[in-house]
């Protein structure tokens, strides 16, 4: 695979053999897919306030599609920019494969970065935007004009915009700009592809299409890809694994089903889906709310004062022991049936529960609990 860094081949096929071999080109790293590891990254911004990243460690497999998920201010974009080399960390190291890239300038890291608002060069055509990276190479490594043309055309086909080469960014729709931005990033054959809120500025339908399309591109190119999002659906649908960040720390890393079914913290639980939270107590193998047992405690659950976290879809209207009392706030029809907004006694916010009967606001109901999670209070 020594031909891997000859600037004439654009590796589009996913190939485990190819990716496992790391070839260092003379002036920069280039892999079809490389592993990325960040180790105890600390980043503070000038001025007061807590650190943006407080010792974040994370390993990304070659060819993996990883989502950095978190609310705004959680440090996810900062982490992405540290990996890219756009921010210099105050502590910790960044590795691409086995090479320490912490001190490598951004130009020589071989990353493809797609910015939230695309950052296309507005005075250049789509063609020239995509060719920019190739034309930026030192003369000795710069492809010839017809080679550049061939590669840009191929990328335009990959992003399904073959007819727009002569347009200017201002003449494109948001979704088209997004595709051009991706093609531009892919043109330099990056070892790692980084996307900052790639669909953040697009409307719902375009988002959906582009998500599916990005998955396909990833399958085709096999590039190690990290994307930042605050949308849990996007992360769950798209990513092989999800790293959930909160206040500059990683709360959990895992596949979609892991973070959904086995959230490591109350924060993860409430961030990856709608959650009702009640103060409860675990004793004698029972989770008790206001002294009454609700559900059996599983082994390994904390004892004493806990937060009982419930998913709305685990709640059904029922009767008898173990049900939780609540008050109907609102009842309405939706496309998928009828739902009631119910405020459980002792809860801070109401939850939407699927119901079969008609309710009036103010009706008292009891909800049976199918499944629950508890987290120690604090």
Catalog residues that contact another protein under the rule CB under 8 A.
28, 46, 84-86, 106-109, 111-113, 115, 117-123, 132-133, 136-137, 168-171, 174, 184-185, 187-188, 201
Shortest Cβ 87–another protein spacing (Å): 10
Q: Minimum CB separation from another protein for residue 119, in Å? A: 4
CA distance 126 to 123: 10
d(CA 345, CA 290): 10
Which residue lies nearer to another protein by CB, 132 or 313?
132
CB of 197 to another protein, least distance (A): 12
Are the C-beta atoms of residues 103 and 181 closer than 8 Å to each other? no
- Return d(Cα 21, Cα 11) in angstroms, integer: 13
Nearest distance from C-beta of residue 116 to another protein, angstroms:
8
**Which CB sits closer to another protein, 187 or 280?**
187
Would you say 116 or 316 has its CB closer to another protein? Answer: 116
Rounded least distance, CB 19 to another protein, Å: 21
Q: How far is 259 from 254, CA to CA, in rounded Å?
A: 6
Residue 374 pairs in a beta bridge with 308
Helix (H, G, I), strand (E, B) or coil at 377: coil
Choose between 126 and 309: whose C-beta lies nearer to another protein: 126
What 3-state DSSP class applies to 259?
Answer: helix
Alpha-helical (H) ranges within the chain are: 16-20, 76-84, 126-135, 145-158, 174-187, 204-221, 232-238, 256-261, 266-271
Of the candidates 282, 291, 279, 292, the residue with the CA atom closest to the CA atom of residue 347? 279
**Pick 111 or 217: Cβ nearer another protein:** 111
Q: What are phi and psi of 56, to 5 degrees?
A: -95, 130
Residue whose CB is less far from another protein, 91 or 174: 174
Rounded least distance, CB 170 to another protein, Å: 4
């Amino acid at each position: 695979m020594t031909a891997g860094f000859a600037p004439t081949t654009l590796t589009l096929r996913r190939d485990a053999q190819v990716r496992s071999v790391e070839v260092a080109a003379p002036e920069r790293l280039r892999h079809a897919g490389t592993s990325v590891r960040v180790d105890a990254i600390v980043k503070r911004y000038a001025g007061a306030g807590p650190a943006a990243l407080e010792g974040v460690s994370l390993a990304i497999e070659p060819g993996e599609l990883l989502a950095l998920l978190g609310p705004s201010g959680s440090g996810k974009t900062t982490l992405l920019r540290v990996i890219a080399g756009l921010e210099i960390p105050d502590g910790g190291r960044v590795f691409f494969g086995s090479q320490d890239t912490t001190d490598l300038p951004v130009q020589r890291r071989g990353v493809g970065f797609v910015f939230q608002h695309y950052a296309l060069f507005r005075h250049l055509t789509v063609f020239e935007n995509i060719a920019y990276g190739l034309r930026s190479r030192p003369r000795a490594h710069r492809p010839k004009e017809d080679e550049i043309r061939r590669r840009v055309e191929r990328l335009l086909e990959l992003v399904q915009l073959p007819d727009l080469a002569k347009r200017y960014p201002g003449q494109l729709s948001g979704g088209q700009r997004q595709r051009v931005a991706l093609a531009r990033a892919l043109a330099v054959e990056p070892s790692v592809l980084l996307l900052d809120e790639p669909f953040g500025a697009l409307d719902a339908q375009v988002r959906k299409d582009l998500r599916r399309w990005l998955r396909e591109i990833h399958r085709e190119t096999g590039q190690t890809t990290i994307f930042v999002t605050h949308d849990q659906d996007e992360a769950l649908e798209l990513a092989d694994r999800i790293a959930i960040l909160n206040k500059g720390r990683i709360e959990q890393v895992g596949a979609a089903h892991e973070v959904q079914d086995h959230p490591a913290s109350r924060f993860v639980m409430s961030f990856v889906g709608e959650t009702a939270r009640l103060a409860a107590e675990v004793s004698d193998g029972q989770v008790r709310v206001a002294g009454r047992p609700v559900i059996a405690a599983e082994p390994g659950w904390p004892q004493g004062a806990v937060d009982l976290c419930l998913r709305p879809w685990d709640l059904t209207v029922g009767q008898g022991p173990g049900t939780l009392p609540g008050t109907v706030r609102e009842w309405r029809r939706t496309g998928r049936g009828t739902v009631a907004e119910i405020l459980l006694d002792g809860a801070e916010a109401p939850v939407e529960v699927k119901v079969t009967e008609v309710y009036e606001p103010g009706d008292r109901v009891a909800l049976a609990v199918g499944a629950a999670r508890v987290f120690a209070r604090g």
